[in-house]
């Protein structure tokens, strides 16, 4: 029969180890998630930048100076 | 235990006890007594506080077309102390397309710590530099201000410095809103020196600057700039300005300058082209200033519209100086005096009004004081108090010599006539779009009633005659009632006299005259080969309006619904 006191010690030991492991796991996960969050933030920034760049391109391409000759070539007339 | 061993054991126990005590003491000193100091030292080594730069707000035209925006670009930076062979590194970087080897070498040799090698490099080059993994040379993320329409409205938009602070135009005037608020974050440093975020470390996110929506319409701006450049080039003029505004709201729809500059190429252009001449440069308006005489004459009942004025002589004399008209004619009614822009008629009416009332009318129209437009560098012009006027000076003022104004002041004064007598403050910003997307509009501001309502209406009708049968006939357009006035002024030589053969030509017109929605003020500086500039500016005006009619919303506004709403 397993002595009761040893069982108690083992239980306490595993509990302590469990808490430590849980604490470390929690810290590691938190750091990993923070890094992932930062990566997503970077991705968002990069997409925002791409959107801005497309908006700028749109603004440049929709200028009257550029569109008027194109419209003339297509045979369009002024209203 | 042998008895002789006892003292040795005692000594050993004592020594180890002392050592333990020393150790515990040291631990206490490190952890508790000086713990705070060492903790801060460690934090300084392991943590770094970095600034998170706020994105600068965009500048948009009234139709939300982007006129200025910030883009993240790659830049190449160097840490001078990490570079052992500047010559070899310079050769390598030059091969990658970063510029001349000598130039790069010069920068690398002079760099002690951090320094920018090149900012805003193409992505392809930045990537190849990164792939080379050259010690001391790094790719950094940086932001660059970009103006997609190039020169368009360059003098209105202004530009930013290398550290993205506004230095001119709207960029400078609205710096406090465009700039945003920088954030910061504390990052953990790993053994290799890399930085990464840590869960509990504080972080304050940056706040993007507000977007500024201008009253400018990029299409109209393009038209006015195009025609201004064409006129200035055709007459080999020194320069010119043009303002298109809505007289009811004071919104500036276009503000053109020539010569202008491209804010994307800042630092390469002539600094003389940077200023916004429409608000910074003064000129003597000439006949366009006769509006003061006309308004004061009617408001003070010094003259009536159909009264015949004795201006049939070849000249009139004031303080021994002969004042003439462009062409000889018989006596003219007051209305004809305005149509034909008679200097003699203007002098006679002004003399009837009197100096003080003339001065008060000019001030009421905003001459001699700033318009208050939300752009930097505006000047107030010169309009002396009548105490300093001689009879000759007063006579000259009647036809717009001896006074200096800005293009915007002149536009606003005519705006008051178009607006039924109410002077409205001009503005360049229509609304401010905060980072949450909420739009805060910049409402129009009435400055004062400058002209009695009835007089404004009569003057408008008279000005229609100027374009229909007077000096402004070049600006006539079939189907649109245009009220306008031409002006030709001798140019001051800066020493109290006038330059021979140098003139400033101007035209101010508003339309449709029944309910004006648009006002266009054009000024051409020193056109060559013309003695009278009114006709050239009137034709310039006509070309701009014809091009405006090609844009459907404006065509509709001019012909059917004159209200400038939703454009």
pLDDT tens digit sequence for B296-306: 999 998 888 88
pTM: 0.83
**R_g of chain A computed on alpha carbons:** 33
Q: What is the pLDDT of residues B445-467, one digit of tens each?
A: 889 999 998 999 999 999 999 99
Query: In chain A, what residues touch B149 (CB-CB under 8 Å)?
Result: 59-60, 63
Residue B303 φ/ψ region, left for φ over 0, alpha for ψ in the -120 to 50 degree band, beta for the rest: beta
Q: pLDDT per residue over A26-69, tens digit each?
A: 989 998 998 898 889 889 988 888 888 898 888 888 888 888 88
Give yes or no for A77 touching B (CB within 8 A). Answer: no
Interface test with A, best of B52, B54, B70, B72 (most A CBs within 10 A): B72
Query: What are the percentages of helix, strand and coil residues in chain A, rounded to 5?
Result: 85, 0, 15
User: Rounded mean pLDDT of B342-365?
Assistant: 92
Please give the DSSP secondary-structure letter assigned to residue B255: E
- Tell which residue, B127, B138, B417, has the closest CA to residue B289: B417
Q: In Å, how far are B47, B183, B195 from B202, measured between CA atoms?
A: 11, 11, 14
Reply yes or no on whether the pLDDT at B264 is more than 60: yes
Lowest mean pLDDT across B193-207, B244-258, B533-547: B193-207
What local confidence, expressed as pLDDT, does residue B48 receive? 82
Predicted confidence (pLDDT) per residue in B136-152, tens digit: 888 888 788 999 998 99
| CB-facing half-sphere around the CA of B12: CA atoms within 13 A | 5
Optimal mutation site among A29, A34, A68, interface B, most CBs of chain B within 10 A: A34
Q: Does residue B405 register a pLDDT over 90?
A: yes
Distance in Å from the first CA to the final CA of chain A: 102
At residue B35 the predicted structure's pLDDT band, cuts being 50, 70 and 90, is confident
B523 vs B187, more confident: B523
Position B565 scores a pLDDT of 41
Q: What is the pLDDT of residues B110-123, one digit of tens each?
A: 877 778 888 878 77
What is the C-alpha separation between B424 and B539, in angstroms, rounded?
27
Distances, alpha carbon B186 to alpha carbons A76, B39, B137, B202, in Å? 59, 16, 24, 6
Q: Residue B566 — very low, low, confident or very high, per pLDDT cuts 50/70/90?
A: very low
Q: Bigger pLDDT: B232 or B85? A: B232
Which residues sit opposite B74 in a β-bridge?
B121, B141
With beta carbons under 8 A apart, name residues in chain B contacting A30.
Answer: 199
Residue B564 has what pLDDT? 45
Contacts of B198 in chain A (CB under 8 A): 31, 34
Task: List Cα–Cα distances, B358 to B49, B61, B236, in angstroms.
Answer: 65, 39, 36
* CB contacts, 8 Å: B223 with chain A: 64
Of B3 and B467, which is predicted with more confidence?
B467
Query: Per-residue pLDDT for B267 more than 70?
Result: no
A57 Cβ under 8 Å from any chain B Cβ: yes
Give the tokens for residue B332.
């003219």
Q: Is the pLDDT of residue B499 over 60?
A: yes
**Residue range B378-398: average pLDDT?**
91
Percent of chain B with pLDDT over 70: 98
Nearest chain A residue to B61, by CA: A59
Q: What is the pLDDT of residues B170-185, one digit of tens each?
A: 999 999 999 999 999 8
A–B CB contacts, 8 A cutoff, strictly below:
55
CA distance A14 to chain B (A): 28
For residue B498, CA distances in Å to A9, B80, B323, B401, B501 come to 109, 59, 15, 10, 9
* pLDDT for residue A79 is more than 80: no
Indicate whether B561 pLDDT > 60: no
**pLDDT per position as a tens digit, A17-32:** 999 999 999 989 998 9
Q: Tell me what the pLDDT averaged over chain B comes to.
A: 88
């Amino acid at each position: 029969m397993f002595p009761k006191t040893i069982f108690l010690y083992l239980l306490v030991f595993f509990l302590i180890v469990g808490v430590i492991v849980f604490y470390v796991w929690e810290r590691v996960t938190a750091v990993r998630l923070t890094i992932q969050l930062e990566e997503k933030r970077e991705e968002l920034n990069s997409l925002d930048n791409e959107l801005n760049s497309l908006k700028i391109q749109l603004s440049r391409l929709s200028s009257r100076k550029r569109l008027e000759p194109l419209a003339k070539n297509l045979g369009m007339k002024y209203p | 235990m042998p008895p002789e061993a006892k003292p040795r054991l005692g000594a050993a126990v004592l020594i180890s006890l002392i050592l333990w005590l020393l150790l515990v003491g040291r631990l206490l000193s490190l952890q508790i007594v000086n713990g705070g100091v060492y903790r801060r030292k460690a934090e300084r080594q392991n943590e770094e506080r970095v600034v998170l730069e706020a994105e600068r707000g965009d500048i948009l035209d009234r139709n939300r077309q982007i006129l200025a925006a910030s883009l993240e670009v790659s830049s190449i930076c160097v840490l001078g102390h990490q570079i052992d062979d500047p010559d070899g590194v310079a050769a390598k970087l030059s091969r990658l397309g970063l510029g001349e080897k000598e130039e790069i070498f010069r920068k690398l040799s002079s760099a002690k710590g951090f320094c920018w090698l090149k900012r805003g490099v193409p992505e392809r080059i930045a990537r190849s530099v990164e792939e080379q993994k050259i010690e001391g040379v790094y790719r950094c993320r940086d932001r660059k201000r970009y103006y997609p329409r190039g020169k368009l409205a360059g003098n209105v938009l202004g530009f930013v410095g290398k550290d993205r602070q506004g230095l001119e135009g709207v960029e400078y005037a609205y710096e406090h809103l465009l700039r945003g608020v920088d954030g910061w974050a504390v990052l953990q440093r790993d053994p290799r020196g890399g930085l990464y975020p840590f869960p509990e470390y504080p972080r304050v996110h940056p706040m993007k600057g507000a977007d500024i929506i201008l009253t400018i319409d990029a299409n109209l701006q393009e038209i006015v700039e195009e025609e201004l450049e064409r006129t200035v080039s055709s007459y080999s003029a020194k320069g010119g300005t043009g303002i298109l505004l809505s007289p009811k709201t004071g919104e500036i729809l276009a503000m053109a300058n020539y010569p202008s500059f491209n804010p994307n190429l800042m630092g390469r252009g002539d600094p003389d082209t940077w200023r916004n001449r429409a608000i910074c440069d003064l000129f003597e308006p000439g006949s366009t200033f006769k509006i003061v005489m006309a308004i004061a004459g009617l408001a003070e009942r010094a003259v009536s519209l159909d009264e015949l004025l004795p201006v049939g002589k070849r000249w009139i004399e004031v303080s021994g100086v002969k004042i003439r008209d462009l062409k000889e004619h018989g006596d003219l009614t007051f209305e004809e005096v305005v149509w034909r822009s008679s200097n003699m008629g203007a002098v006679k009416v002004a003399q009837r009004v009197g100096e003080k009332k003339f001065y008060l009318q000019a001030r009421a129209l905003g001459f001699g004081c700033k318009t208050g437009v939300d752009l930097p560098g505006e000047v107030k012009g010169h309009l002396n108090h009548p105490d300093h006027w001689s009879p000759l000076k007063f006579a000259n003022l009647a036809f717009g010599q001896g006074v200096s104004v800005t293009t915007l002041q002149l536009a606003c004064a005519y705006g008051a006539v178009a607006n039924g007598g109410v002077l409205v403050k001009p503005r360049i910003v229509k609304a401010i779009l905060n980072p949450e997307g909420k739009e805060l509009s910049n409402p129009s501001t009435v400055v004062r009633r400058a002209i009695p309502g009835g007089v404004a209406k009569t003057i408008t009708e008279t000005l229609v005659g100027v374009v229909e049968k007077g000096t402004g006939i070049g600006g006539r357009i079939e189907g649109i009632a245009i009220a306008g006035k031409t002006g030709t002024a001798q140019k001051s030589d800066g020493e109290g006299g006038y330059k021979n053969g140098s003139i400033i030509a101007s035209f101010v017109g508003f339309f449709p005259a029944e309910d004006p929605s648009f006002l266009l003020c054009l000024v051409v500086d020193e056109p060559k080969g013309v003695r009278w500039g009114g006709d050239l500016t009137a034709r310039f005006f006509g070309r701009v309006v014809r091009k405006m009619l090609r844009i459907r919303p404006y065509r509709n506004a001019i012909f059917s619904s004159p209200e400038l709403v939703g454009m």
